[in-house]
Structure 1
């Protein structure tokens, strides 16, 4: 079991690192490729767009395939497309390679969550899921700063490094993961998009997924331009921006590890509501802070909230209808990356139009307020356990 846990952790770590690597590199790539600020967010959004478009079909399709092969070829494609980013010669080649990396990740990453209940003994599923989720948090705390340090030597090195590491993980998949044959149950042959109908027809589900979208859109709009903002405001180098990301990633880890205790102590409604309200105040205050230390301190609390809220929200969504959890996970992932795409694009426009982070922070605060309102109005936070949406 240790071998499988380590494998799943590494898959999420390399994919998580690649997902947000562009953020601290935006100033460097913007200058290198002569990209206007208004369009620079698309270097983040291209990856998210590829993931969002294919996550809706990749999850249901893979139910009829051997999951080991899907994960393996997904990681190989992810490795190649990420390494190709290091050869990009301009905005459009970078956009294409990032898009392909997102498409590959949409096939590889969901297989991790689908494989855990199939391969891990039931009493250990929650523990293993927590460790795998920590792989994403660790990618922010360690992977992105390491990528920034490599980029201080040459901007292409992080992409080559992640591509090579991803290829090693693909080899690990081939060695450690057993074959998982497709489910031939006739119920599994239901048309792909028909599986989403119970969610579309549920008022609770519609509002819950709207809340999820607004939460992700606001967070990633602000996150995508952290590197750009600290570079412009505090004149940091790319490796110094990486250190900022490291500190913020620690906040995510703190939130991930302490989230269960917070929910147990304060209940899920109070935990989520208090975190959203604090984050709203933080987003509004961020552009007006006088120093890097103050910026890091305030954003640290936002990342703590993200570490607590993200798994809590996914748990609430998966509880909407336990009979279609795979479909819910695919939809949740697609919505998250669609929100990342839109948030990064809008943040670039706002940053360029209003010449700074103030409009981006206000946008994030409005999104968080709308997300909290949608969660409360959905009734999901007060719904009884086991009750279908």
Structure 2
């Protein structure tokens, strides 16, 4: 069967828009193509300033700005100038990215640009919520299975950007040059059969490399406490942690179960064995369980985050302020003040006292002028979250 028109051979096997379509601007809404056709026919191509915003005025409800790396590579090479907030900056209103250039030079890229920013920022904001809920515990991203595999690397990068300690998706790890984490699923336990949990734990211990933590899954067939104590006996000093991933319909009082497991481990002198929990967890769960555990696997709460509702609007045309109804005309600047305030004002006007200007060069005449370091961006998130009191 021939591949559909416009897709490389083999890409038709999956419903995935190929990178080539994104780079050429084919990954757009149809009305942008018709806009280009109309403007070209009329000989109209104004010099504009366009801004990406979520809220016009600061609201006090902060989100994490993410997806900047992909957005930058999308726009690089176009004859435009772009300024943007630093990757990982928190914001609660005003522009996060600004484009200056002739409109037809970037019009068809709006759809992909907003998609890159909106989805990653939503995931990063959710990831920061869980990070702040358990600041002293290990928190891993386990949610790639809940999303289309073509965006797994975006989910995992957003999680790391927000300060999570690890990811689970192997191919995403290849893209990000970051090792994937994980030990055993229930499927492994079931392959050995009910009553043979010890065989599964020992086989894992014998098979996997020494640098992989020995984390025994302990809720497959019987009571969590029972399986935990059996894992302790089976693996002895090799056991690093136990993981509870109890199905929600069987949890009862999950906090009590976790505390009971911790108690029984301590009573047997196994304070060295950590308790790791996963399965449908959100910030409230992390706060409640944190005193009894050493780590969490968080899935859908991060990966299933709603994309932020960004929009791109022209705010200046041929040097004159302009905007559609409900949007603020004129080129703008945004600032962070030492007290954590986020301020929006017209560019070229005096900003707030001691305010730090946040919109910084990203692209100049098509050339990418910023580098992207994930650790540096994660540090930006942590610092700014503390400054604005995120999720306190």
TM-score tier after normalising by the smaller chain length: under 0.3
For normalisation by structure 1, the TM-score amounts to 0.26
Q: Which has the higher contact order (CA 8 A, sep 6+)?
A: 1
Q: Larger % of strand: which? A: 2
Q: Larger % of helix: which? A: 1
